[in-house]
Structure 1
Amino acid sequence: MIVRIMGEGQVQLDDSHFGELNKLDDELLAEMENGDGPGFRVTLTALLDKVRELGTALPDDALEPSELILPSPDASLDEVRDMLSDDGLIPG
């Protein structure tokens, strides 16, 4: 799966990693619902770091269709809230 991190680029990520990422996504959703700004920031950073760690960055000149779009590391709580579906940022 191709994942885009806004403002950074694309990462090729194997579907087998989504269980691990969904745990962080669930934490992020709970922090957003509780208005926990500091917790939200820590978990968003952890989620994006995990995507970078588990995935393979595509070259900057590659332009593949992204199946999943994640917010930039400096996105605000409100910006991320606007991106959410019922499942959070990561479906499943």
Structure 2
Amino acid sequence: MIIRIMGEGQWQLADEKVDQLNAVDGELEKAVSAGDEEGFRTAFAALLDFVRSGEKVPDEVLHDSDAILPPSDSSLSEMRELISGDGLIAG
């Protein structure tokens, strides 16, 4: 799975990490739905860190992204506009 973090680049995560990724994304969705600013910050940082734990795709190599995450400085209100009932990562 290839995930882009806007303004940072792309990372490749192994297919076996998708369930973990969805769990982290689910925590973010819960915090955003609850309007929990602190929970949002914690969950969004955890999601970005999880993605960054994958293999960085060199900037000169372009792949279609399976998911695109907003920049790390996104606000709770911006995130509300982006998150559907499935979180940021579909699946």
Is TM > 0.5 for Structure 1 vs Structure 2?
yes
| Alignment partners' CA distance in 2, 1:14 and 1:85 | 24
**Is 1:79–2:67 an aligned residue pair?**
no
- CA positional deviation for 1:85: 2.5
Deviation of 1:70 after TM superposition, in Å, equals 1.0
Indicate the residue corresponding to 2:20 in structure 1: 20
* Aligned position for 1:10: 10
> What secondary structure, in the 3-state scheme, does the structure 2 residue paired with 1:69 have?
strand
The alpha carbon displacement at 1:72 in A equals: 1.3
Q: Is the 8 A contact 2:33 2:80 kept in 1?
A: no
1:41 corresponds to: 41
CA RMSD between the two structures: 1.2
Structure 1 runs not aligned, ≥5 long: none
Which TM-score applies when normalising by structure 2?
0.90
- Structure 1 length normalisation: TM-score? 0.90
Identity of matched residues, %: 52
CA–CA distance in structure 2, aligned partners of residues 85 and 32 of structure 1:
10
Q: 2:29, 2:85 within 8 Å by CA — same for their partners in 1?
A: no
| Number of residue pairs matched by the alignment | 91
Q: CA deviation at 1:91?
A: 1.7
